[in-house]
């Protein structure tokens, strides 16, 4: 069935699907695909169209305070496919430790272990088109060049895999909207509506049931959707906004009885050029600096703290990447000469590289989204983000770098310079992953989480949340693979709900 | 050995000796020489004293309390009869690294560099 244009829906219409999916990003599309050919009549409501539109994108504008962050209308895209329209395809599954409650990390832990998500990784990997699910197993096979010899220690060679849309001549990462449009049109149990903005989640009087959704278009049409069940899949920022803004019955907003919605916002901090790596004996293998192909995967190596090291030293996730070749200054050359001489190593063919990293931030309830008095073109309150990064987050990463430097010297492979020291220096090179996490966190206890282990909003029997906003802790791994896997798990749960 | 052969061997020997003498003088002239210090037993462990001095100066720029005599005593105690390689290996296993000019280096090596910078 062709996609429906919401601007053609008559005012006052009431639609009654079994399941409403709000948002056509990777979570919404993965959910629709995984519920294909079931008796569940789905309606997917996407705010945008098939391409970027400035007026629709402007609905995302908001304010930021605190640590410098990306403008709220620049860090995401509001048309079918959502964030996958501008993602880099970087993929890596969460580790076991990321699901664990750690006494030394407040607010950590998922309500289920990684094993519960594992059955869904293979299908998620298929949907994002990142090749065979290998990741760290790549180290066991043939690679185009040697692994960095790290010896014994807290860091190891790990791997990203990359989404590649093979139907695209440039092999760009899979943009879910365009990639799956035809497939979605063929689903007999799906209606997909473009230009349909959900502006309110309206509760029944007993506040235990979501009664209907208010929908509006930028052209001025208004209608309602009265589904049996609803999945909110608008991304880590907009999910919180819609819940908070739906405050006509519960003043704090839907699902926000315990003042958790919008709190614990997180992204992956990416301080550029934060350290310099020197290898004594020649160039590093190309797959550390850029993507390469091996074993059927498009991949790139990263250096990461092991789970054991993270537990022992109370560290967060960090995925270090080798960036560019750099020239050393006189002191750098002297340091290499001194260290290699003392270790009895010939460093006449040494090479230096700048390092980047993706960093996990500790959950922080004050890193949060709140509503402002400003309103968008549809009358929805805009958001303000208070962004924070703790000194501890940076200190923990420094410990990772110290261990990296130690391992390089101990294995007589190279050495390390740490290039950022003060908080101001770190912040001056800070970039962000555009990964919006944690704002509707998952926890068994309604006082500590917005949704339960099945992604159902606590206290509301027919409202679920999909996407990385439910991640209570998230490591440094890019979220798309993981949120798609979690969505497939939600799809299985919904099949049971509708049975 | 006939006379001609004796002349050739003698001439060659003189040439070799002259070349060796020239080489020695050249080395004496061009190679860096350092006046004797009370720490030569330690400084001789460094493969390149000029490079070490640069590293040492970078360390001293942010560590003002360095007293060469005390540092030398501590280094001698730490190294003892071991080779430098063995000492560094032990420090790297234990994670005894410090920064010199933001470069992560074994503590003993940085101590030697700082000593070199003070001489």
Question: 3-state DSSP: chain A helix, strand, coil percent, rounded to 5?
Answer: 30, 25, 45
**Residue A119 confidence (pLDDT):** 98
- For residue range A341-375, list pLDDT tens digits in order: 999 999 999 999 999 999 999 999 999 999 999 99
**Residue A170 confidence (pLDDT):** 80
Dump strand ranges (E) for A412-458. 414-418, 430-432
What is the rounded average pLDDT for all residues in chain A? 97
CB A103 within 8 A of CB A86: no
- For residue range B67-80, list pLDDT tens digits in order: 999 999 999 999 99
Contacts of B46 in chain A (CB under 8 A): 338, 341-342
**Residue B17 confidence (pLDDT):** 66
CB atoms within 10 A of CB A346: 10
Closest C-alpha among A135, A125, A199, A155 to residue A376: A199
Record: contact B97-A409, CB cut-off 8 A: yes
Contacts of A338 in chain B (CB under 8 A): 46-48, 51-52, 55, 105, 109, 113
- For residue range A447-475, list pLDDT tens digits in order: 999 999 999 999 999 999 999 999 999 99
> Which residue of A lies nearest to B86 if distances are taken between CA atoms?
A343
Contacts of A344 in chain B (CB under 8 A): 85
Contacts of B101 in chain A (CB under 8 A): 331, 335, 417
**Residue B29 confidence (pLDDT):** 53
β-pairing, A292-294 vs A297-305, is antiparallel
Is some CB atom of chain A closer than 8 A to the CB atom of B93?
Answer: yes
The model's confidence at residue A434, banded by pLDDT at 50, 70 and 90, is: very high
Proportion of chain A above pLDDT 90, given as a percent: 98
| Model confidence at A64: pLDDT above 60 | yes
Is some CB atom of chain A closer than 8 A to the CB atom of B116?
Answer: no
- For residue range A110-166, list pLDDT tens digits in order: 999 999 999 999 999 999 999 999 999 999 999 999 999 999 999 999 999 999 997
H helices within A345-433, ranges in order?
391-410, 423-428
Residue in B89, B95, B113 closest to A338 by CB: B113
pTM of the model: 0.93
**Residue B33 confidence (pLDDT):** 77
- For residue range A37-56, list pLDDT tens digits in order: 999 999 999 999 999 999 99
DSSP code per residue over B46-104: -S-HHHHHHHHHHHHTT-TT--HHHHHHHHHHHHTTS-HHHHHHHHHHHT-EEEETTEE
| Least confident among A292-306, A425-439, B10-24 | B10-24
Q: b/e string for A166-186 if b means 16 or more Cβ within 10 A?
A: eeeeeeebbbbbbbbbeebee
The model's confidence at residue B16, banded by pLDDT at 50, 70 and 90, is: low
Is some CB atom of chain A closer than 8 A to the CB atom of B115?
Answer: no
Task: Note the ipTM here.
Answer: 0.92
């Amino acid at each position: 069935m062709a996609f429906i244009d919401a601007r053609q829906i008559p005012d006052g219409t009431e639609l009654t699907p079994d399941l409403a999916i709000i948002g056509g990003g990777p979570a919404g599309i993965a959910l629709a695909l995984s519920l294909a050919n079931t008796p569940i009549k789905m309606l997917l409501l996407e705010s945008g169209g098939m391409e970027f539109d400035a007026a629709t994108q402007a609905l995302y504008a908001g304010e930021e305070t605190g640590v410098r962050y990306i403008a709220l209308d620049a860090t995401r895209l509001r048309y079918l496919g959502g964030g996958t329209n501008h993602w880099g395809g970087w993929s890596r599954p969460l580790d076991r430790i990321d699901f664990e409650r750690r006494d030394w990390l407040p607010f950590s832990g998922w309500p289920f272990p990684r094993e519960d998500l594992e059955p869904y990784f293979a299908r998620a990997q298929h949907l994002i088109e990142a090749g065979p699910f290998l990741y760290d197993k790549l180290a066991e096979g043939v690679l185009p060049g040697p692994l960095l010899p790290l010896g014994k220690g807290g860091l190891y060679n790990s791997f990203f895999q990359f989404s590649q849309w093979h139907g695209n001549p440039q092999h760009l990462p899979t943009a879910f909207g365009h990639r799956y449009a035809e497939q979605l049109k063929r689903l007999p149990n799906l209606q997909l509506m473009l230009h349909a903005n959900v502006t309110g989640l309206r509760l029944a009087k007993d506040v235990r049931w979501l009664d209907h959704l208010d929908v509006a278009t930028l052209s001025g049409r208004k209608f309602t959707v009265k589904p049996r069940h609803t999945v909110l899949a608008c991304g880590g920022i907009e999910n919180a906004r819609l819940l908070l803004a739906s405050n006509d019955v519960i003043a704090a907003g839907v699902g926000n009885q315990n003042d958790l919605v919008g709190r614990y916002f997180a992204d992956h901090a990416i301080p550029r050029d934060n350290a310099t790596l020197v290898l004594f004996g020649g160039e590093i293998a190309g797959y550390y600096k850029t993507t390469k192909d091996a074993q059927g995967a498009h991949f790139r190596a990263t250096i990461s703290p092991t789970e054991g090291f993270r537990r022992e030293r109370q560290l967060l996730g960090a995925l270090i990447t080798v960036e560019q070749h750099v020239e050393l200054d006189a002191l750098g050359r002297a340091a290499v000469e001194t260290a290699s001489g003392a270790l009895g190593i010939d460093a006449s063919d040494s090479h230096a590289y700048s390092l980047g990293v993706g960093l996990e931030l500790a959950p922080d309830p004050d890193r949060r989204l709140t509503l402002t008095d400003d309103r968008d073109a549809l009358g929805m309150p805009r958001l303000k983000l208070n962004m924070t990064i703790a000194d501890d987050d940076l200190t923990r990463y420094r410990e990772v770098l110290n261990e990296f430097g130690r391992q390089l010297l101990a294995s007589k492979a190279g050495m390390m310079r740490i290039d950022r020291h003060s908080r101001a220096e770190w912040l001056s090179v800070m970039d962000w992953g555009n990964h919006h996490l944690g704002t509707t966190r998952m926890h068994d206890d309604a006082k500590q989480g917005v949704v339960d282990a099945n992604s159902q909003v606590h206290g509301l029997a027919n409202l679920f949340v999909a996407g990385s906003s439910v991640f209570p802790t998230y490591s440094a791994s890019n979220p798309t693979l993981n949120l798609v896997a979690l969505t497939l798990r939600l799809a299985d749960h919904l099949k049971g709900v509708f049975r | 050995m006939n006379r001609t052969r004796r002349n050739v061997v003698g001439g060659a020997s003189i040439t070799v000796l002259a070349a060796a003498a020239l080489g020695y003088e050249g080395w004496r002239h061009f190679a860096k020489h350092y006046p004797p210090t009370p720490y030569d037993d330690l400084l001789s462990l460094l493969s390149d004293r000029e490079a070490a001095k640069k590293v040492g100066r970078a360390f001293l720029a942010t560590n003002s309390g360095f007293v060469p005599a005390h540092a030398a005593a501590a280094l001698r105690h730490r190294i003892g009869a071991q080779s430098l390689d063995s000492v560094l290996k032990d420090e790297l296993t234990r994670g005894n690294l410090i920064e010199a000019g933001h470069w992560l280096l074994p503590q003993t090596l940085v101590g030697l560099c700082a000593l070199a910078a003070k001489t």
